[in-house]
């Protein structure tokens, strides 16, 4: 004997077959929706946990410092090769040397690249000592720019090169040069005229010694 269908309180009567099917379908939909949300939350938590592990587990360390350039040793080798003294900048606390070496070619050149040691300072200056050369050599380094003026620094006369757009590709904005005995010394780069003059002044004793030795 079939048991009579229960009366649904909200309806005040037994459910019809269609109402029962609809109720069960809605219940299943709600269950599936809740499971999907739970799955998404679980996946998000798992992803955040993995990210946290990567962030905290990977070694940090300090930023790589600029490589040390043993300019004194390199200068000694160049002096031996060229049988001639070279100018070695005194970096003090402001400058660091990023590169140094002998560049060959029609004219041999002792090249030194200086940059400020402090991170907040910007720019660079290149020192180029061209062996057995004069001011006519300088345009080879300055995209054809010749000196147009002179300035006096620590009692020594320096040629001034108005680089302008010619130096844009190399980021060169200012250059000065002076004769040092048989060699020509060129300072060029992206630092100001004042900063370049300060470096030139610090090099004056060595340049004077070169001039007197010739």
pLDDT digits (tens, 9 = 90+) for 157-212: 999 998 887 667 789 999 999 999 999 999 999 999 999 999 999 999 999 999 99
Q: Which uninterrupted H or E stretch holds 95?
A: strand 95-103
To the nearest whole percent, how much of the chain has pLDDT over 70? 72
pLDDT of residue 123 exceeding 90, the answer is yes
Q: How far apart are the first and last CA of the chain?
A: 130
Give the per-residue pLDDT at 61.
Answer: 45
**30 SS3 class:** helix
Cα(211)–Cα(214) distance, rounded to whole angstroms? 6
Nearest to 154 by CA among 175, 176, 170, 137: 176
pLDDT of residue 30 exceeding 60, the answer is yes
**203 SS3 class:** helix
Give me the phi and psi of 59, to 5 degrees please.
Answer: -60, 140
pLDDT of residue 97 exceeding 50, the answer is yes
Model confidence pLDDT, tens digit, residues 65-82: 556 889 999 999 999 999
Nearest to 133 by CA among 111, 156, 108, 152: 108
| pTM greater than 0.75 (yes/no) | no
Nearest to 138 by CA among 117, 115, 159: 159
> What are the residues facing 8 on neighbouring strands?
13
Nearest to 172 by CA among 153, 199, 197, 145: 145
Give the per-residue pLDDT at 18.
Answer: 73
Cα(124)–Cα(105) distance, rounded to whole angstroms? 24
């Amino acid at each position: 004997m079939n048991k009579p269908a229960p009366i649904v309180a909200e309806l005040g009567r037994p459910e019809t077959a269609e109402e029962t099917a609809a109720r069960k379908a809605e219940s299943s939909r709600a269950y599936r929706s809740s499971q999907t949300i739970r799955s998404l939350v679980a996946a998000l938590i798992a992803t955040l946990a993995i990210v946290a592990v990567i962030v905290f587990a990977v070694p940090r360390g300090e930023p790589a410092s600029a490589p040390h350039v043993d300019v004194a040793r390199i200068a000694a080798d160049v002096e031996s090769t060229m049988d001639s003294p070279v100018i070695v900048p005194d970096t003090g606390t402001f400058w660091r040397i990023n590169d140094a070496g002998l560049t060959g070619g029609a004219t041999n050149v002792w090249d030194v690249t200086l940059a400020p040691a402090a991170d907040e300072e910007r720019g660079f200056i290149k020192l180029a000592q061209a062996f057995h050369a004069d001011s006519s050599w300088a345009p080879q380094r300055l995209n054809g720019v010749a000196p147009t003026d002179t300035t006096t620094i620590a009692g020594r006369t320096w040629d001034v090169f108005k680089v302008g757009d010619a130096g844009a590709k190399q980021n060169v904005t200012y250059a000065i040069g002076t004769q040092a005995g048989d060699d020509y010394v060129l300072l060029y780069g992206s630092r100001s005229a004042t900063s370049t003059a300060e470096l030139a002044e610090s090099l004056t004793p060595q340049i004077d010694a070169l001039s007197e030795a010739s």
